Amino acid sequence: MSEKIALFPGSFDPITLGHVDLIERAAHLFDKVYVGVFPNTSKQSFFSMEEKMTLVQQTLQAYQNVIVVSQEKDLTVTYAKKIGANYLIRGIRNSKDFEYEKDIYVLNQHLDRSIETVYFLANPKYEHISSSMLKEILTFGGDISSFLPTVVNQYIEKK
């Protein structure tokens, strides 16, 4: 039986407790989960790629079958093939996310039908969290500590 390998792509700017919940759930279902820290060309990054990689790696170090990777040149499905992943992990918080993710699914299927997308519904206690909203709050001095892993909060306090 072949390994079930998944890729969870995202900008993780910053990684949130909602992301960690999805990754933990995926780690129980798949033999290997790659967490891909990828650029999002439609968003302005708050953290550098190096900062995001460090924070994601430190946050997820306890998960034995989770590997944090980064790349900036390939399409997600192309990179998934390179690492042997045949599943993409995506999280859905609400109907707006569903519509957006459905469109991405259709495009990914057009690019490579062998890559299947697996959706996880957000845990209700995290469904209101988005990195974009947290960056906005942080920019204006608000407290976002209850939405972030400890390592990310400690980094922000030092920064």
Residue 114 falls in the annotated catalytic set: no
Is there a binding annotation on residue 47? no
Phi, psi of 131 (to 5 degrees): -60, -40
Structural domain range at position 151: 5-158
Distance in angstroms (rounded) separating the CA atoms of residues 118 and 87: 7
Residue 131 falls in the annotated catalytic set: yes
Domain count, the chain: 1
- pLDDT tens per residue, range 55-96: 999 999 999 999 999 999 999 999 999 999 999 999 999 999
Helix, strand, coil abundance in the chain, percent, nearest 5: 45, 20, 35
CB count within 10 Å of CB 157 equals: 8
- pLDDT (0 to 100) of residue 159: 78
Q: Residue 107 CA to chain centroid, in angstroms?
A: 19
Out of 25, 81, 93, 135, the active site residue is 93
Residue 28 falls in the annotated catalytic set: no
Out of 42, 43, 52, 73, the active site residue is 43
pTM confidence score: 0.94
Is there a binding annotation on residue 45? no
Q: Residue 86 is part of a domain; what is its CATH number?
A: 3.40.50.620
- pLDDT tens per residue, range 93-151: 999 999 999 999 999 999 999 999 999 999 999 999 999 999 999 999 999 999 999 99
Is there a binding annotation on residue 93? yes
54: its two tokens: 């460090």
Is there a binding annotation on residue 127? yes
Buried b / exposed e over 26-50, threshold 16 CB at 10 Å, is bbeebebbbbbbbeeeeeeebbebe
